Structure 1
Amino acid sequence: MADPLIIKICGIKTPELLETTIAAGADMVGFMHFSRSPRHVSIDQLGDLISLARGRIETCVVLVNPDNSCVAEVAALGPDWIQLHGPETPHRAEAIKAEAGVEIMKALPIGTAEDVAHVADFLDVVDRVLLDAKPPKGADRPGGLGDTFDWALLKALDPSIPFMLSGGLTPLTVADAIRTVRPAGVDVSSGVESAPGVKDKRLIEAFIRNARAAV
């Protein structure tokens, strides 16, 4: 039997939405610690949210090209995962994993066959890869921009590689994505929002319900 689908709701900012996400049956919750994001939460807020979630749902803090002091500050809060969502190299990802002492997920932007080929570079140094849409040229932040990528590119990926799928997923598209791509998990942020950074309880519930029904 296949492993159960992992569902991650990313960009949660409040205790109320954390409770909604847990009650709806998500497996992971993501918190953005990146000041340019409309989903940014401070270190103090992060600490409170991670404490509230501990033992109830896996927590993942999303960082973009963090320096060592940022990694240490976040790792001290005890999240289950740190997600690297910047231009980190395999070497840097390995160093962060060693320093943080928590599991590392690396988001990799996919736009071309070459991008798919580079996924293999990270498999031995991180615990999980997340394949996301490549942001448009000139974008001021990676990910969370609501775009999908050409899933057909993933046919070139070794089918034994487990990965999470992100990029433009919504309650309406997630079932098709799961059946087409067969990811180990799905990750959503902007697809369950009514405005940038504003999560919608009903969309979170519908996303999880539709994802579970597709498996």
Structure 2
Amino acid sequence: MAEVKICGLKQPKEMQLCAKLKVQWVGYVFYPPSPRFISADHAQILHKSAPSSHEGGPKRVGLFVKPTFEDVEKILRKVNLDILQLYTSTEQAELFRKQFNIPVWQAKGIASLADLPTQKTLIDGYVIEAPSSSKDSQPGGLGRTFDWTLTEKWHSPAPWLLAGGLTPENVFRAIKISKAQAVDVSSGVESSKGIKSLEKIEKFVLNALNGVA
């Protein structure tokens, strides 16, 4: 049994389903090149379509790629985010943690054991996924897996989520091999790029939570 984050939501019906399924986190993508990008106004509509985390709904995670303080501040003026998920350096992630006093997750692309964090920092959590390459248009949401055995015996300095290439069909196996306590999916529950499938979301959550192969 693992906790679940569904990332890249764009429609209120997706938010409502995630709340109904008791998903722990939902992700809003604030990175314009992504097919899952939404504006602050759009995120505000999504936020209002389901109970807030204080009301028992999913926690809202804002995804940013190498943002400035101003980038994040503009979003926070309109959207009440519970967590910042950052594609940036450890040093920068710590600065954002201090600046906004909001939990920060750092996204980490993993190709070998040496890439896994081992030192305690101000970072509250990690999203562990396959590394991006110079040919990729975005750092995450690539639908690409990595060697799940790398995390099998890893002692993480903070809670972490397994991401990258997860689908309803492989999530149970991924949890079993990686020993992940939480999983993060985006492209793996889409009917086409950037468009979520309600059926796939439900199947993914049920398989992750109930250990269905």
Is TM more than 0.5 here?
Answer: yes
User: Could you say what secondary structure the match of 1:120 adopts?
Assistant: coil
Identity of aligned residues (%): 31
Distance 1:62 1:89 in 2: 14
Partner of 1:157: 154
1:59-138 mapped onto 2 (5 Å cutoff): 59-76=60-77, 77-84=79-86, 86=87, 88-116=88-116, 119-121=117-119, 123-138=120-135
Distance 2:133 2:43 in 1: 29
- CA change 1:63–1:144 in 2 (3 A) is same
User: Could you say what secondary structure the match of 2:145 adopts?
Assistant: coil
Distance 1:40 1:167 in 2: 18
Q: Is the 8 A contact 1:168 1:191 kept in 2?
A: yes
Q: Is the 8 A contact 1:50 1:79 kept in 2?
A: no
Q: Is the 8 A contact 1:10 1:29 kept in 2?
A: yes
Distance 1:83 1:104 in 2: 6
Partner of 1:16: 13
Q: Is the 8 A contact 2:6 2:23 kept in 1?
A: yes
User: Could you say what secondary structure the match of 1:71 adopts?
Assistant: helix
- The letter for the 2-side match of 1:59 is R
Greater Cα offset, 99-108 or 163-172: 99-108
Query: What is the Cα deviation at residue 161 of structure 1?
Result: 5.1
Partner of 2:198: 201
Distance 2:189 2:152 in 1: 27
Aligned residues: 207
Query: What is the Cα deviation at residue 159 of structure 1?
Result: 6.2
Distance 1:177 1:36 in 2: 28
Alignment gaps of 5+ in structure 2: none
Partner of 2:143: 146
Distance 2:157 2:89 in 1: 23
Q: Is the 8 A contact 1:60 1:81 kept in 2?
A: yes
Q: Is the 8 A contact 2:124 2:158 kept in 1?
A: no
1:15-54 mapped onto 2 (5 Å cutoff): 15-53=12-50, 54=52
TM-score by length of 1: 0.90
**Alpha-carbon RMSD:** 1.8
- CA change 1:38–1:159 in 2 (3 A) is closer
Distance 2:178 2:139 in 1: 22
Distance 1:206 1:136 in 2: 30
